[in-house]
A and B are shown apart, each in its own frame.
Chain A
Amino acid sequence: MTNIDHWSSSIDLDYRYTAGVAGETFLRKIAKGRIMASRCSYCRLTYLPPRLYCEKCLRKIDTWVQVRGKGELYSYTMTGRGKKKSLYGLVKFAGIEGGLVGRIVGSDLADLKFGMPVRVDLKNSEKGLLVYLHV
């Protein structure tokens, strides 16, 4: 009799990620071209992406505000392999906590400066929503 010296198997975990109440609203609105943030009326803090609870006072948030106008380039990075490179940036908006990440188009790395004005351009595609940043 030969010992059975090992046991092979797998643990299969199938799951669905949900964006949450605030995330769901954010995604549905941004697909229609509107960037929505949530605001705590007690702390006067505005969150992007929106949160359902204020992380400062832990109160439930029920105020939504639309983010309009230009943002500023807070940070950027270049990614890629070989010759194909892409630029990505984090945009912040005046008076709003957090920000939005998108792909910087129409500019080279040398053109970018922290704090420069950025226009956000939202495009729906087969791949999903694309966030383009123009500096």
Chain B
Amino acid sequence: MVYSGIGISPQDVANSRYLTVPYSANLRYRWSTGAAVGRFLAELKNGKIVGRKCDKCKRVLVPPRMFCERDFIQTSKWVYVQDAGIVDTYSISYIAADASRLEKPLIVAVIRLDGTGEAGILHILGGIEPKDVMIGMRVKAVWKPKRRRVGAITDIRYFAPAGDAK
């Protein structure tokens, strides 16, 4: 047997149609980045993307790791990679980071940067309509202006179709 629930709209809340008790929880945290991601973020501030290379499997790992999870050995050197690549996979999301609904969807994508192995970085696509996105299409990073970069993955605003990127 299925019992359906009762949906409560923002209007119901505004009109006090139901009794509610509001709460706010602010969960503050500090995340230690580690050696590899610590440098990765600092390089982003300079407008560069850096990875780590494994000598055994020859992969360049982006975001960088200090060890290769495939070979169980330390990665050996830092390698700069291009800020352009292809869309490996993507998802059209009508839900924002705070779980609110979006009129205009976000296009979340995994970007495989040129010169890296399989897998890539998770980011969003911009300057393109959802219906025009294709797996394998070329994209390029659109960066924030240098003075507004803080050393975060969001220093890249989004990835745009390669032809349109500046």
Q: Which residues of A are in contact with B by a Cβ distance under 8 Å? A: 1-19, 21, 24, 27-28, 53, 60
Contacts and interface: CB of A to CB of B under 8 A. Distances in A.
Interface in B14-32: 18-32
Contact of B32 (A1, A6, A16, A19): A6
Contact of B42 (A3, A14, A53): A3
Interface in B30-59: 30-33, 35, 38-39, 41-43, 45-46
Contact of A18 (B18, B29, B30): B18
A18 B33 contact: no
B73 interface: no
A3 B40 CA distance: 8
Interface of A, secondary structure class, is strand
**Chain B: number of interface residues, binned into ranges:** 20 to 34
A13 B25 contact: yes
B38 to A, nearest CB: 3
The 10 A-B pairs of least Cβ separation, nearest first, read: A3-B38, A4-B41, A16-B20, A11-B27, A4-B151, A10-B28, A13-B25, A17-B21, A7-B31, A8-B30
B45 to A, nearest CB: 8
A24 B19 contact: yes
A14 to B, nearest CB: 5
Contacts of B35: 3
Q: Which of B19, B22, B23, B43 has the most CB of A within 10 A?
A: B19
B96 interface: no
Given A6-B31, A7-B31, A9-B29, A19 B24 contact: no
Contacts of B27: 10-13
B38 A4 contact: yes
